Amino acid sequence: MGSNIGDRIGFIRNAVEEIRKDVHCKVKLVSAVYETAPYGNSKQPNFYNAVIMISTNYTLEELFSFLKGIELKLGRKDSVRWGPREIDLDILFFDEIIYSENNLKVPHPGVHLRDFVLVPLVEIAPNLIHPELKEKIIDICKRNSEKNVIQKLSEKI
């Protein structure tokens, strides 16, 4: 999850709280929050990013719809690709599923290239195996070439 408009930490906390309140989801692990340089479009404010692990009885498509609903509820507005956003909630992995339909691709494309995803993910699931690459997240993170992470924040979510 990420935010770079307004109360960035507030948007992330509120998103996690919305997920916690849902009877179909259980938040199991939460990473630290990291300040990161923007990816793709560098002429925008820095992001705050974090990763959570949940268990759910939603299907992949139901979870995607649920998360998009949270984005709207929290005030996300349409923007350009890789542009500024109030809150962005992505599904990185869903068990070992490999899925690609319409606007939903799992594993999330490019996850293996983005340290702003890998660094917090290593905190909570270093031994998670990427189902396409067949490698541990910690090993992917070690060789990652992108360097967007600026600092780990002391704020907790």
The answer to whether 111 and 118 are in contact (CB under 8 A) is yes
pLDDT digits (tens, 9 = 90+) for 58-89: 999 999 999 999 999 998 887 766 668 999 99
Q: Confidence band (pLDDT; 50, 70, 90) for 144?
A: confident
Task: State residue 77's pLDDT score.
Answer: 80
Partners of 135 in beta bridges: 130
**Residues with catalytic annotation?**
76, 85, 88, 90
User: 52 in helix, strand or coil?
Assistant: strand
Residues in the chain: 157
pLDDT over 90, % of the chain: 81
10 is written with which tokens? Answer: 């507030």
CATH 3.30.70.560 fits 2-152, yes or no: yes
Contacts of 86 (CB under 8 A, 6+ apart): 3, 5, 6, 11, 71, 74, 75, 76, 77
Per-domain residue ranges for the chain? Answer: 2-152
